[in-house]
Amino acid sequence: MKYILLDRDGTIIVDKHYLSDPERVELFPNSAQGLKTMQDAGYKLLVTTNQSGIGRGYYSEEDMHAVNTRMSELLSGYGVEVKAIYFCPHAPEEDCGCRKPAPGMFDQAIDDFGLDPKECYVIGDKLCDVELGLARKARSILVRTGKGRREEASCVGKADYIADDLLDAANFIIKNK
Ligand SMILES: [Zn+2]
């Protein structure tokens, strides 16, 4: 079974800086179509998200779940199903094993779903997403949405592809199956 591990803020939904209000969840224009294309190509979709806003005390874990639920609702309207959402609630100084690029969330997904990293893609708008893929020898794609343009230079030579958005990423994945 093939899986795609996707970042949330700046990748699927617009990065609104410590977003905690489900009313403000907004998909990027090509997010739903891109994810549907990946799903139709036989990939199951997982989300891995760094949520240091919890560790910093900016919002609660409950707030984050409400945002996740809203995102999943919006996506399900397009027939897109997110199988699981993994999150790191820690602030950077807590030095945990799950804040990307540390591979804790990927390892948890391997345990939960028995996935083979070589069959997986990791997609996000930051170097830490690309490095999460590298950590477990999965392929990785940087998207230019969110902070992607700012991160692009640091990802050249590390990411397998740099995509304009999730639809562009989906088309790359289909071509390279
Ligand atoms: Zn963590």
H, E, C per residue of the chain: CEEEEECCECCCECCCCCCCCHHHCCECCCHHHHHHHHHHCCEEEEEEEECHHHHCCCCCHHHHHHHHHHHHHHHHCCCCCEEEEEEECCCHHHCCCCCCCCCHHHHHHHHHHCCCHHHCEEEECCHHHHHHHHHCCCEEEEECCCCHHHHHHHHCCCCCEEECCHHHHHHHHHHCC
Domain region containing 57: 2-175
d(CA 87, ligand 1 centre) in Å? 8
Whether 9 is a known active-site residue: answer: yes
Report how far residue 18's alpha carbon sits from residue 43's, in angstroms, rounded to the nearest whole number. Answer: 29
| pLDDT tier, 93 (very low <50, low <70, confident <90, very high otherwise) | very high
Instruction: Return the pLDDT at 130.
Output: 98
CATH of the domain at 74: 3.40.50.1000
Q: How many domains is the chain built from?
A: 1
| Residue 177 reports pLDDT greater than 80 | no
On average, the pLDDT of the chain sits at 97
Q: Out of 7, 63, 160, 165, which one is annotated catalytic?
A: 7
Angle (CA) 145-11-62 rounded to 5° is: 140
| Residue type, position 52, single letter | S
Q: What percent of the chain has pLDDT over 90?
A: 98
Q: What is the CA radius of gyration of the chain?
A: 15
pTM, whole model, 2 decimals? 0.97
Contact 73, 32 (CB under 8 A): no
Return the pLDDT at 18.
Answer: 92
CA 17 to centroid of ligand 1, rounded, Å: 18
Of the candidates 9, 125, 129, 168, the residue annotated as catalytic is 9
Q: What is the pLDDT of residue 172?
A: 98
Cα–Cα distance for residue pair 75/79, rounded to 1 Å: 7
Q: How much distance in Å is there from the Cα of 174 to the middle of ligand 1? A: 32
The pLDDT tens digits for 40-81 are: 999 999 999 999 999 999 999 999 999 999 999 999 999 999
Token digits of residue 159: 């990411």
The closest of 76, 134, 146, 67 to 106, measured between CA atoms, is 134
To the query of whether residue 125 is one of the catalytic residues in this protein, the response is no
CA distance 56 to 103: 21
What's the gap in Å between 99 CA and the centre of ligand 1? 4
- Expressed in angstroms and rounded, the spacing between residue 64 Cα and the centre of ligand 1 is 15
pLDDT tens digits along 113-130 = 999 999 999 999 999 999
